[in-house]
Structure 1
Amino acid sequence: MNDHDNTKGKEVCADFWNVDFDILDSLEYIEASIKIAIQKCGATLVGTIDKKFRPSGVTLLGLLEESHIGIHTYPSKGFAAISCYVCGTADPDIAIDYLTEAFKPKEVLRQTLIRGVR
């Protein structure tokens, strides 16, 4: 076993642009979508914390046994910033792929980071 076997993780970040206002402003829709994304990617949800902003916007963070997933929405801009970081066998690409289907952005900017290795 090398030094990185216990620290290696993968983080996928996505910026969603031109998303429907009502999707980005619905805490219920976002929470349901995140839970499905977590299940599909093979991660285990420990709990969530969320904040519904006025006049609009949502932040939701999911604590995973494998790390975390988070979303911050800006409905008036049609924008969502999403991050999914996991270790082990869970696959953050699957979570982001599902969220892309659920949110239907017209544009996606996506970055992948391999974390915990030198």
Structure 2
Amino acid sequence: MRIGRHWIGDISGCDANILRDEAALNLLFETALIRAGAQILERQSHVFEGEGGVTGMFLLAESHASYHSYPEHRYLAADFFTCGSCDPAVAADVVIRALRPEAVSTHILERSALESGDPIPALDRSVAQRRQEAIR
């Protein structure tokens, strides 16, 4: 059963000054989410010291959105995970058009729940081993 869509993007060649501007990034993402039909429940962001970037998280009634900026690389990592009628691609398009990047790479994941009786995917043994070691 399809639960939602998760848009993940690597946005490169952006204006480094915008990627350092917490207020501008938060306003851009807020605008994008509203245009996509999302209901923002909470917002949190953090500016890293010096010439560092900004990380922002949005808790949505429809799921979440986040961004991580790296002005020193002119790069922004962004993701929008939404369910219902809210379209993450609309939010992404607003962000991309505003930033006017040199390059964009995107992935859209269809998030879905296992149906009763579906086999549970096997966990990669090396991942399971690392998790056990981390717990010890």
TM-score range, shorter-chain basis?
over 0.9
CA RMSD of aligned residues (A): 1.0
Instruction: Structure 1 unaligned segments of length 5 or more: list them.
Output: none
The Cα of 1:102 is off from its aligned counterpart by: 1.3
Residue 8 of structure 1, aligned match among 3, 12, 19 = 3
Runs of 4+ deviating beyond 4 Å:
none
Task: Render the CA deviation track for 1:2-30: whole Å, top value 9, x for unaligned.
Answer: xx2xx611000110001011010000100
SS of the residue corresponding to residue 93 of structure 1 reads helix
SS of the residue corresponding to residue 46 of structure 2 reads strand
- Between the aligned partners of 1:102 and 1:44, the Cα distance in structure 2 is 21
- How many equivalent residue pairs? 113
- Of residues 7-16 and 42-51 in structure 1, the stretch that sits farther from structure 2 once superposed is 7-16
Task: Render the CA deviation track for 1:76-107: whole Å, top value 9, x for unaligned.
Answer: 00000000000000000000000001111110
From the CA coordinates, give the structure whose radius of gyration is larger: 2
Considering Cα pairs closer than 8 Å and 6+ residues apart, tell me whether 1 or 2 has the greater RCO.
Answer: 1
**Matched residue type, 2:33:** I
Percent identity over paired residues:
28
What's 1:116 paired with? 112
Output the TM-score relative to the length of structure 1: 0.92
